Each structure stands twice: as structure tokens, then as C-alpha cells.
């Protein structure tokens, strides 16, 4: 076999595709059955070793519902306790058996006569193997390398899991490209004269992304990304399924709803969704509905369908508006709007986006099902220098989420802000919080909230052998070095000694887990207020703790043993009190406690280097701000 070119792969929630740049032309690779896109379906045969993918898996699904897997991308990189995983686990529309192996999500089923478990990465790898084999067959050479697309709003854990799935399929991943950037690259190659700020509205089968990309000549600069990794066409399908299930229950009773019927209903609802993009009304038939020859007609108008899905479209526009708002730009600043993903054929989506940006800006002259795979293939060709010098495009992506360190009381101190261009280096100085502290453990998080309990934990590292000193006197500079592949290198420099220590922390090792408290959908302004109050509380807490630590560090300057023990006891009482407070505590009460503490010891600690006024000013400023 000859050496095969590098391919581009769009691993989608509902459909996947592969493409290649061959003889100067981008083309989607037909799969082994001759189709240009492959349903992301996998079926494991109960009795033998056969594994089916795509339409064949779909055809086999009715034989054993629990062995038929779809929407696997929605689980990839997620923790078993993630609220979204639990929602699907308890949804009767999903019939496969979800369980856990420690914190990991696994699918449990019988295959080849044996009971087994597989991770989402292992199941997804079957789709990638199928695309790899299809491409190898088409190109006449074994495909070994690929550029694989991921949603722009995927966190590091999800990106890592996607890369692992590709490796399990026997593919070396040259790059993970975000889906909106891939779509924009393909569009740019076909329309090289475009320029300005382009908005990519990417409504896929399982995820929604919006990106603003500024095109200047050959430079592609991603300015901002927003999205929802649990909003997609599948949610429209599920709303339709629930709509017809209610009708079926009313006519035939609850007993009519069986796993096999739900699977049949799913297939027909997908068809209805697609047909309603073309027709004002459509109907399909469920044959032999009640174990007899009776048929049931599923009939719906486009107007009824739009009433069912309008809230999902509104949610996508919320992300669009936030993306623009964060950049401080308006719809008028956008020169082109590109629609990506088969769901964007939905008339309600097109009319809503057109109404917001202006119909003339909406670009529909690319195939939304194939453009991501084609863009990934173009990126692959650029990476291996397969393109001409004229096509030397430079792509700069950004971080979808902020990265930072957890400090006192779970406060997130951001080091790399959301939307920062990659690659980059950022640093921040942190100080010891205890007297003679010998080490500091830094916990890394990603997310936008000030409280780390609402963000994603990524990993930790420890800086040891710190010099002795009073709390706050020993400082270290934490340097984050983030490369284009999402790998974080950390350097810590102890400022008083100049000693530098390097750490290698792979951000993508830790699975996403959004528990219920993290997933409360709250008003953005309320979140901001809560975070502001929390930050103010941590400032108060830190100021009080600093005073206590400084007094304790200088106790030897008090000559009287009796007075020394008295001060120590008062410090212990205040410390016990402040440790029991939180952001909901009365700031006035904290001020009263601190003033009382100051009053009884101020004459005794005159020879100790401690700044009461700074702490008092911090507390009173916060109280005045929130009066």
C-alpha cells in the first residue's frame, strides 16, 4: 500500500464524517456503504464478535435495544456522577445500561456471549475505526494520522477522552481542531475574499457552539467562544418523542411504551424533524402499533413543531448574545454568519438568526453536514505542508474557559482568562498563609465562577522546601505555560530565593463532573452578585487570619508570660470564630468581633509587627459596599 494522506474527521454526536485533500481538492470520503456521512451508531452482537457501525447498527438495533449505542459523545470525558450522565441514565428514551467503574462511566452489556463493560472512549473508537477503514479503502493506503474536530466548548477532560478514542482506533491525532474553526476554514478556502468578524453558529446533534473569528488576510483569530455541550438536535428529537409518547399513552395506555416502541418512535421522529425543514406538514406511520395490524399515524405541522422546539432555539441565541456581549460588539459588527450542523436547516433557526443579524449576512452555501470534516481535512493538509504557499493560513484559537488556582476558602484566582489566545504564558504571585509554612499545594481549576465548587477540577502540584517566615512574607510566582495542544506546564519560582521548580500537569486527565449544585441554572447577574459577595468575604477572612498569624508569629516580643498566654487565647478564640463563618455570615458581626479583639489586646501587642488598620479598613469597605 502507498502512504495515505492525513484525513480530517468530524466525530459527531449524531453523524460522523471523514474528508481528505486530494489533488488540490477537498472531498468527503464515502463510507464502506457508499454514504458520505455515517450515523454515530454502534451495535454489539450478543452472540458473536460482530460490531456494527452506522446504518447497519441502526438496522440491528431493534434486535437488542440494550446493545445499541448512540449519543456516546455526550458521555465522553464525563464523570459518572455528572448530573447530565444521571439525567440520561434515568431517561426512558435511552435504553442502554449505564453503570460506573469507580468515577468512570461505563456501558454494561452482553457481547460475544459474555457480559462486559466498555467506556465511552472505547465505544466511540468503533466509529473512528469505521471511518479510518473506509478512508483506507477509498485511498488505497492505510490511514494512520488524522485531525479530529471537537466542540469549541469542550473542556480539557472531553478533549483528552476524544484523543484517547482516536488512539484506540489506531489513529495518531495531529491536532484537535474546534468544530467552528474547521467549518470556517472550509468556507474560507471556497471564499478566500471574506474578511472581518465571522460568527460561526454551530448547532450539532448533541452540542451547540458559537465562535467569533476575525479574518485578516491569511490570519484566522478566534476572538471568543461560547456554547452548551448539552444542547443539540437530539434534544429536539427527544421533545418530539415525548410529544408523541403522550398521545400514544392517552390512546393505548402506559403499557404501549416499550423499549422497542421507543426505538421505532426515535427513528420516525428524526425523519419528521428532517422533513419539516422542507414541508409545512408531514406524517409517518408506526405499523403494528399494538401487537396487531393496527397502524398509528404520527402527524405534525411545522408550526406545532416550532412551538415544541422554540425554547431550545432561544437557548442557542442566549449563547450567541453572550458571545457578542463578552467581546463588547453588536450584531452590526459581524460581517458573515456561517451555519454549521445539519440542524441549522431548521427554518425556525434560520429565521431567528437572520432576524438577529440580517438575512444578507447568513451564509448557507456550504453543506452543513460535511463542512467540519472538510475543514479538518484542510487543517491536516496545512499541518503537513500539503498546500501551496498561497494557502499558508495561520489559525489562532483561544481558551474556552478560564484557568486558575484555588486559594483560601475555595476562591478561584484566575491566571489565564477565558478567551486568551493560544499559546500563552501567564503568571501570578501567591504568598504563604501560615507561619513557617514549608510547602504550598496548588489546586488547578477551569471555569468562570469565583467559587471553585462551581468549576472543574483539573489537578494539583506542590511546591516544597519553602524558607521559614511570617505568614505572607514568603511569596512564589506561579507561571502557567499553555501550548496549542492544551498541555499545561507549570513553573514555580520562590521569589525570596530565586529557586525555580518545573512541573508538568496534563490538564486533560481529569473527567468533567458537574454535580447538581453546580448545574443550577441561575440568573447570570445573581451569579455575579454571589461571586462578588464571596470574594469580599474571602478578603475579610484573609485580613483577619493575617492579623492572627502575625500576632502569633511575634508572641516572643511579649515579655509577660501571663499576657502572652492571654493574647494566645484571644487569638485562638477569634480564629475559631472566623473559621466558622462563610459568605452568608453577617459582616457587621465579624467587624464587632474583630473590634472587640483589637480593644482587649492592642496595648499588649504594641511591639509586634501587625497592621490592624488594614484589616479594619477591608471589613468596613466591604460593609459600606453592600449596605
HEC readout, 461-513: EEECCCCCCCCCCCEEEEEEEECCCCCEEEEEEECCCCCEEEEEECHHHCCEC
Measure the CA–CA gap between 321 and 311, rounded to whole angstroms: 15
Contact between 510 and 503 under an 8 Å Cβ cutoff? The reply is no
Prior bond of 423 cis (ω within 30°): yes
Measure the CA–CA gap between 227 and 475, rounded to whole angstroms: 37
8-state DSSP, 409: G
pLDDT digits (tens, 9 = 90+) for 257-313: 888 888 889 999 999 999 999 999 999 888 888 767 788 889 999 999 999 999 999
Confidence of residue 503 (pLDDT cuts 50, 70, 90): low
586 phi-psi bin (left φ>0, alpha ψ -120 to 50, beta other): beta
pLDDT at 508 over 50: no
Rg of the chain in Å (alpha carbons): 29
Cell numbers standing for residue 304: 406545532
- Cα–Cα–Cα angle for 326, 329, 331, nearest 5°? 120
pLDDT digits (tens, 9 = 90+) for 9-51: 999 999 999 999 988 899 999 999 999 999 999 999 999 999 9
Contact between 217 and 246 under an 8 Å Cβ cutoff? The reply is no
Measure the CA–CA gap between 456 and 513, rounded to whole angstroms: 7
Residue 173 phi, psi (nearest 5): -90, 115
Cell numbers standing for residue 390: 498561497
Measure the CA–CA gap between 411 and 445, rounded to whole angstroms: 10
- The pLDDT, as a whole number, for residue 461 is 83
* Average pLDDT of the chain to the nearest whole number: 89
- The pLDDT, as a whole number, for residue 518 is 38
> Could you give the maximum distance between any two Cα atoms of the chain, in Å?
99
Collapsing DSSP to helix, strand or coil, 551 comes out as helix
Helix or strand (DSSP H, E) at 316: helix 302-327
Measure the CA–CA gap between 226 and 207, rounded to whole angstroms: 11
pLDDT at 506 over 80: no
pLDDT at 521 over 70: no
Average pLDDT over residues 316-336: 95
Contact between 556 and 605 under an 8 Å Cβ cutoff? The reply is no
Confidence of residue 515 (pLDDT cuts 50, 70, 90): very low
**How far separated are the first and last CA of the chain, in Å rounded?**
76
Cell numbers standing for residue 137: 479503502
Collapsing DSSP to helix, strand or coil, 283 comes out as strand
- The pLDDT, as a whole number, for residue 590 is 95
- Cα–Cα–Cα angle for 477, 478, 484, nearest 5°? 140
Measure the CA–CA gap between 162 and 338, rounded to whole angstroms: 25
Average pLDDT over residues 101-117: 91
Helix or strand (DSSP H, E) at 163: helix 156-168
Cβ neighbours of 194 (radius 10 Å): 15
Query: Three-state SS string across 365-383, please?
Result: CCCCCCHHHHHHHHHHHHH
Contact between 200 and 180 under an 8 Å Cβ cutoff? The reply is yes
Q: Which residues contact 62 (CB under 8 A, 6 or more apart)?
A: 260, 263, 264
pTM of the model: 0.81
Measure the CA–CA gap between 261 and 289, rounded to whole angstroms: 8
pLDDT at 105 over 70: yes
Measure the CA–CA gap between 143 and 18, rounded to whole angstroms: 11
Residue 461 phi, psi (nearest 5): -150, 160
Cβ neighbours of 159 (radius 10 Å): 22
Cell numbers standing for residue 384: 503537513
Cell numbers standing for residue 596: 472587640
Q: Which stretches within 328-458 are classed as H helix?
A: 347-357, 371-383
pLDDT at 252 over 50: yes
- The pLDDT, as a whole number, for residue 487 is 64
User: 427554518: which residue's cell?
Assistant: 347
- The pLDDT, as a whole number, for residue 502 is 63
Question: Of 465, 532, 462, 537, whose CA–CA distance to 503 is shortest?
Answer: 462
Measure the CA–CA gap between 510 and 460, rounded to whole angstroms: 11
pLDDT digits (tens, 9 = 90+) for 547-557: 999 999 999 99
Cβ neighbours of 410 (radius 10 Å): 16
Residue 61 phi, psi (nearest 5): -55, -35
Measure the CA–CA gap between 492 and 112, rounded to whole angstroms: 52
Cell numbers standing for residue 443: 489546586
pLDDT at 522 over 50: no
Cell numbers standing for residue 560: 509577660
Amino acid at each position: 500500500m502507498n502512504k495515505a494522506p492525513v484525513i480530517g474527521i468530524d466525530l459527531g454526536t449524531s453523524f460522523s464524517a471523514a474528508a481528505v485533500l486530494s489533488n488540490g481538492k477537498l472531498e468527503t470520503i464515502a463510507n464502506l456503504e457508499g454514504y458520505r456521512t455515517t450515523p454515530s451508531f454502534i451495535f454489539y452482537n450478543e452472540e458473536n464478535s460482530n460490531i456494527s457501525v452506522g446504518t447497519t447498527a441502526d438496522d440491528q438495533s431493534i434486535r437488542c435495544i440494550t446493545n445499541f449505542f448512540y449519543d456516546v459523545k455526550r458521555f465522553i470525558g464525563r464523570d459518572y456522577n455528572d448530573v447530565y450522565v444521571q439525567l440520561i441514565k434515568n431517561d426512558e428514551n435511552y435504553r442502554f445500561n449505564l453503570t460506573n467503574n469507580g468515577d468512570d462511566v461505563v456501558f454494561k452489556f452482553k457481547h460475544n456471549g459474555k457480559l462486559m463493560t466498555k467506556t465511552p472512549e472505547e465505544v466511540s473508537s468503533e466509529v473512528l475505526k469505521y471511518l479510518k477503514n473506509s478512508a483506507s479503502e477509498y485511498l488505497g493506503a492505510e490511514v494512520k494520522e488524522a485531525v479530529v474536530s471537537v466542540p469549541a466548548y469542550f473542556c480539557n477532560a472531553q478533549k483528552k477522552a476524544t484523543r484517547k478514542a482516536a488512539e484506540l482506533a489506531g489513529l495518531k491525532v495531529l491536532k484537535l481542531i474546534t468544530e467552528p474553526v474547521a467549518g470556517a476554514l472550509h468556507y474560507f478556502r471556497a471564499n478566500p475574499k471574506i474578511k472581518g468578524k465571522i460568527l460561526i453558529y454551530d448547532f450539532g446533534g448533541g452540542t451547540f457552539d458559537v465562535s467569533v473569528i476575525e479574518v485578516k488576510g491569511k490570519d484566522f483569530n478566534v476572538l471568543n467562544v461560547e456554547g452548551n455541550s448539552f444542547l443539540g438536535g437530539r434534544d429536539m428529537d427527544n421533545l418530539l418523542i415525548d410529544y408523541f409518547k403522550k398521545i400514544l399513552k392517552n390512546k393505548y395506555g402506559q403499557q404501549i411504551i416499550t423499549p422497542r416502541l421507543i426505538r421505532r418512535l426515535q427513528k420516525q421522529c428524526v425523519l419528521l424533524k428532517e422533513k419539516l425543514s422542507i414541508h409545512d406538514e408531514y406524517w409517518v406511520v408506526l405499523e403494528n402499533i399494538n401487537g396487531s395490524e393496527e397502524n398509528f399515524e404520527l402527524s405534525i405541522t411545522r408550526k406545532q413543531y416550532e412551538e415544541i422546539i422554540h425554547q431550545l432555539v432561544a437557548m442557542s441565541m442566549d449563547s450567541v448574545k453572550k458571545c457578542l456581549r463578552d467581546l463588547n460588539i453588536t450584531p452590526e459588527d459581524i460581517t458573515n454568519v456561517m451555519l454549521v450542523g445539519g440542524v441549522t436547516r431548521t427554518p425556525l433557526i434560520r429565521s431567528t438568526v437572520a432576524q438577529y443579524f440580517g438575512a444578507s449576512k447568513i451564509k448557507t452555501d456550504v453543506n452543513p453536514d460535511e463542512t467540519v470534516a472538510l475543514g479538518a481535512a484542510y487543517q491536516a493538509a496545512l499541518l503537513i505542508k500539503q498546500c501551496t504557499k498561497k494557502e499558508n493560513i495561520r489559525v489562532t484559537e483561544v481558551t474556552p474557559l478560564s484557568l486558575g488556582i484555588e486559594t483560601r476558602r475555595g476562591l478561584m484566582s484566575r491566571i489565564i482568562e477565558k478567551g486568551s489566545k493560544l499559546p500563552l504564558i501567564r503568571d501570578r504571585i501567591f504568598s504563604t498563609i501560615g507561619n513557617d509554612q514549608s510547602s504550598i499545594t496548588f489546586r488547578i481549576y477551569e471555569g468562570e465562577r469565583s467559587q471553585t465548587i462551581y468549576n472543574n477540577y483539573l489537578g494539583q502540584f506542590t511546591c516544597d522546601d519553602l524558607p521559614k517566615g511570617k505568614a505572607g512574607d514568603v511569596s512564589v510566582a506561579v507561571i502557567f505555560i499553555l501550548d496549542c495542544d492544551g498541555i499545561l506546564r507549570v513553573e514555580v519560582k520562590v521569589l525570596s530565593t530565586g529557586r525555580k521548580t518545573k512541573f508538568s500537569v496534563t490538564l486533560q486527565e481529569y473527567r468533567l463532573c458537574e454535580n447538581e449544585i453546580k448545574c443550577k441554572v441561575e440568573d447570570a447577574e445573581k451569579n455575579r452578585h454571589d461571586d462578588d459577595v464571596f470574594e469580599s468575604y474571602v478578603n475579610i477572612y484573609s485580613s483577619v487570619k493575617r492579623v492572627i498569624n502575625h500576632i502569633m508569629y511575634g508572641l516572643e516580643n511579649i515579655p509577660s508570660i501571663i499576657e502572652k498566654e492571654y493574647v494566645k487565647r484571644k487569638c485562638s478564640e477569634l480564629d475559631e470564630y472566623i473559621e466558622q463563618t462563610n459568605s452568608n455570615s453577617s459582616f457587621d458581626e465579624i467587624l464587632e468581633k474583630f473590634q472587640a479583639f483589637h480593644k482587649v489586646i492592642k496595648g499588649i501587642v504594641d511591639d509586634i509587627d501587625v497592621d490592624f488598620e488594614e484589616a479594619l479598613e477591608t471589613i468596613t469597605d466591604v460593609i459600606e459596599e453592600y449596605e
